[in-house]
Amino acid sequence: MDLKNKKILVTGADGFLGRHLVKNLLEKRGVLKTDLFLPTIDELDLTKWEDCVKAVGGQDVVIHLAAKVGGIGFNQEKPGELFYDNLMMGAQLMEAARQVGVKKFVAVGTVCAYPKHTPVPFEEKDLWNGYPEETNAPYGLAKKMLLVQSQAYRKQYGFNSIFLLPLNLYGPGDNFNPESSHVIAALIKKVYDAKKAGKDFTDVWGTGIATRGFLYVEDAAEGILLATESYDKGEPVNLGASLEISIKDLAELICRLMDFRGEIKWDKTKPDGQPRRSLDVKRAQKEFGFMVKTDFEDGLQKTIQEFTERFSKV
């Protein structure tokens, strides 16, 4: 599918991933701004059916990025909202898109959909072999229902919907709000605050033993668009890098890159989340040629630089 001259709805376009994806569409793929529909949550509330109908009218392609999402603390505080809002947005938007004849629906899920004790690296075939990690299960399962819906609609209606599973994202423009940020952004903010306050330590949740993989946001945007252009099958696809790093090593790396020589104090009363997380990424490479281009440490440097420049002005 050539995305030029297509009418494209991008939900969540004003979010972290959305901004990078829209930039890619405009600058790399030459899509006209007038062909993009980028409603904000203030303009359309996708938990409401009538707003979903308005959103998809006249569109050829829907790229569904919108989500209510946060880190472990946010997941613990608002599990009901995370389940309901994400489920309703996805289910209603896809049904509305089907009814009006949208040519392709791109559902962006989450690595949180995987079972808690999935063999590492996570392969798509293991997606249903257990229950997700408890702190993010409501969010992960709500997003996972998009895969069920995609496959059911493909079977009954011939509806072209695909489902992607991106790793934890990071990069310039991330959400650094301590109440809802993910691990890399949270660690950068903690180290920055400790340095600014002249402290010789910073507190970090958990034991540091858990592992994670990460995907640079510009690579994620490119992967999603490659799939939009070239992937038309019902099987889910991981998007990510083969990297796996412990939270302890990650925290120490961020401290080094930010020249913070204080102590990291681990708050072991707080949860670690999923024990291990890393993706098998062979299917994305085989099906639509996606490979990560950004070195992890380089991506961290860019993230830290953008954060420092932004917050030094506050």
Residue 189 covered by a domain = no
pLDDT score of 70 more than 90: no
Q: Is the pLDDT reported for residue 312 higher than 90?
A: no
Residue 252 lies in a domain: no
Angle between helices 137-157 and 79-100 (to 10 degrees): 20
Using only C-alpha atoms, the chain has a radius of gyration, in whole angstroms, of 19
Stated length of the chain: 314
Residues 6+ away with beta carbon under 8 Å from 286: none
Per-residue pLDDT, 10: 98
Annotation marks residue 114 as catalytic: no
pLDDT in tens, 290-304: 999 999 999 999 999
Mean pLDDT of the chain: 95
> Between the CA atoms of 285, 117, 180 and 281, what dihedral angle is there, to the nearest 10 degrees?
0
pLDDT 10s digits, 246-274: 999 999 999 999 999 999 999 999 988 88
End-to-end Cα distance, the chain: 43
Distance CA 182, CA 298 (A): 19
Q: Which CATH number covers residue 87?
A: 3.40.50.720
42: in domain: yes
**pLDDT tens digits along 73-129:** 887 899 999 999 999 999 999 999 999 999 999 999 999 999 999 999 999 999 999
**Helix/strand/coil for 257:** helix
- Does the pLDDT of residue 314 top 70, yes or no? no
DSSP result, 72-134: HHHHHH-HHHHHHHHHHHHHHHHHHHHHHT-SEEEEE--GGGSBTTPPSSB-GGGTTSSPBPG
Q: Is residue 249 part of a domain?
A: no
Q: Give residue 71's pLDDT band: very low, low, confident or very high (50, 70, 90).
A: confident
Question: For 176-185, how does the pLDDT look when each residue is reduced to its tens digit (9 = 90+)?
Answer: 988 778 899 9
Domain that holds residue 161: 8-174+212-242+276-294
Q: Evaluate whether 278 touches 122 at the Cβ level (below 8 Å).
A: yes
Residue 194 in tokens? 């400790």
Residue 203 domain-assigned?
A: no
pLDDT digits (tens, 9 = 90+) for 187-200: 999 999 999 999 99
Is residue 160 over pLDDT 80?
Answer: yes
Token output for 306: 């953008």
Give the active site residue among 139, 170, 216, 231.
139
Which amino acid makes up residue 134? E
Examine residue 301 and state whether it is found in any structural domain, yes or no.
no
Please check whether residue 205 lies inside any domain of the structure. Answer: no
CA dist., res. 74 & res. 293, Å (int): 31
Domain count, the chain: 1
The sheet with strand 8-11 has its strands ordered as 36-37, 8-11, 61-64, 104-108, 161-166, 237-239
* 68 is a domain residue: yes
Distance set, CA 237 to CA 18, 81, 131, 157, 296 (Å): 19, 26, 19, 21, 21
**DSSP label at 179?**
T
